[in-house]
Structure 1
């Protein structure tokens, strides 16, 4: 069931998602929480996709009611803005995942639904008892072989390099467990990790399964090292330091720091921020989701100077892989932005100006205003900005304002006047004229075209 107060978003989501490809059918829709609950009283719903910000009854309120009345229903939240505090509350209430509407704009429909389907499989597997011989509960040491080639909840079928012992049982997709018999030299292979759990004697099957699965959720991701593909974990040390969620304050602080530019040029700052990120130990899926959003922000910020857009993988098998991607992204930005005619300090000032332009998009700031904020003279700032970015500050700001306006037009029902004000223009007519010059059609025409595209 899909719940969203914006009819265009609701219809677009229903029509564009490849539901049947993943064995799903949309059984209903609603424009607010109250109507959604009325529908559920008479219809079977297994998965609820709901907006967070809605009139009558918010998505959070709807989630609480669904959890109370229909605990079997899995929930995915839908949000336009990256309001992580709000999203965190939804996740704490048991949301399976969340979809940023920017993903829908990018037409990543199959990718998004595939991720949700994988999480649903994971949820189902977590409720499946582990069939094990009695000796498993009598052993003090248990081996677990983890596949690293697919995300948690994947199919677990693409592991040709694995020589899984005959006595091993697949605890869940991509995880095999056995006791007593030492593994042969072929394990774990290039795409796996072998973990020996100690001090597990006396654990019942359900507790042992939970231990092994919980370790896969976060501990395995941060502990894995390609140079050390097998290691030992004691039962009392298998649980991660945190729950993998991170507090709302953690999320907000991390996002704010990584959207800024300091980590690009300051090696010490980059190392400190990376260490902090690993110390918090966000769940791998949460980490990837956060940096998917951040990569989108970096592309918006650095697009004029990047030869190609920053691309982030849908799945990182380990922290080592993620850290390698992060370092490579940093180096790509540094190399692209390296202009021998300007010092690193000037380059940092221009990147800071680009960042400020994004953060203060609704304010009518001139090049002189921004130049003062980054401690440069107006004329020299304009010269440096054009040489480094490839366009004037005025052209750059206009382009990012129109991109933001296009998102509002496509994904909200707000008035053109409201949208104009949000992107820094108080005069609706002036905004409409600039929009037509930049995009080739009036705002109202663009909204109509977006509605047609979303319904096809």
Structure 2
């Protein structure tokens, strides 16, 4: 939580910001502003939660400041400080939803109680936004999409703990559990395209509903459209003692075909699987069913076939971890280096399990890993060779894929070099941004060099720019600007005969009186005393 204290009297700002136990209220950062305009610039840049402002300031009153704040963010809480017990001021403050109106000087108890009240209001409002009821309503609205994505994740082999699966199934209101299940893949044949050219999603929704009606009498049904265009249905039968799951599945699949043909005027082809343990074997059975459509069925139409009938004809020796989400390429793009390393280790562990039959799998894994590395390098405008150096040679001559051990060593070594190159590149980029900022400030010290203006100059968000500059230099941007202004003022006072107001204008202070106040706070003497050699620092 962040707050800002605003007053044209610097001693009030400095005293309130540094001597009060704000951290006890959960306030992590206290910003200081010596004018309303400066406060607005800070509010545009930082996620401010609470404003404590004086009411009478040059250029803009505290009431006008609150009005400007309300235009930007209605949730920011405001407390007004005033040396005047004017009833009209208090009314205006309350009309603009100020939390409190305190007379200067407020006691510590009054000030902390007003801040505590403001924070309590903030928490109540945000708790309402994130309340269980509101969250559940949002969840219900998006439930079909969430359920569908969860099933797709299972079919793609996403690895979740048993507890995580149970939690997700329960939170999504799915009556499924770990246990015996079956899978249907349904292909919509060509005549649907001719009849439903303008309503494909509506057609798929109708088929999902018909399937739910037919299978729902005997089983829990969970359906989704997958990326190859098939409709996939996961089934968990409630009681199949009389007929048996395989026969019941075949019978109900034929009913689905018949009803779709009768009411939707199109034909379906269906591949069913043998029962398997969900979610452990879901990805394996899904790939098996896909292989049937690809290798066994081909162009045949309007059939119901059980994949288990020809199990020996279809290889199931595919790699699970290599292709399971999230992919290696996605992890690299997201900069998740630790997760990418775990992914590589898991791929190699799966290859180890396949033992002597692993040469082609090792080749497959190697090409996917190398392709992911090369794609990442090219997306960043570089060649893979320039990033991994001599490690490109084992890739070029195929030595990197010669064995599981060599693949493990090469891929982890290359990953380390990619990470190192990115870290170096990031540092170089930060240095470039810092140089651009400092050069711009030096040239334009008499103009607007606020954080917002600097961020616009280098096309970064102000908050990101602030963090980047602090990481690279150890100093905040505003601290650098202030320090440069003061050092420039000192230099000009000693080496030129310019008037105080001229120096003030040249370093970006339009109000000479404000410049004098700031200078004295920094050095303990006025600019004129400093010029006359009376500096105390």
TM-score range, shorter chain: under 0.3
Larger Cα-atom Rg: 2
TM-score (norm 1): 0.26
Q: Higher RCO, 1 or 2 (CA under 8 Å, sep at least 6)?
A: 1
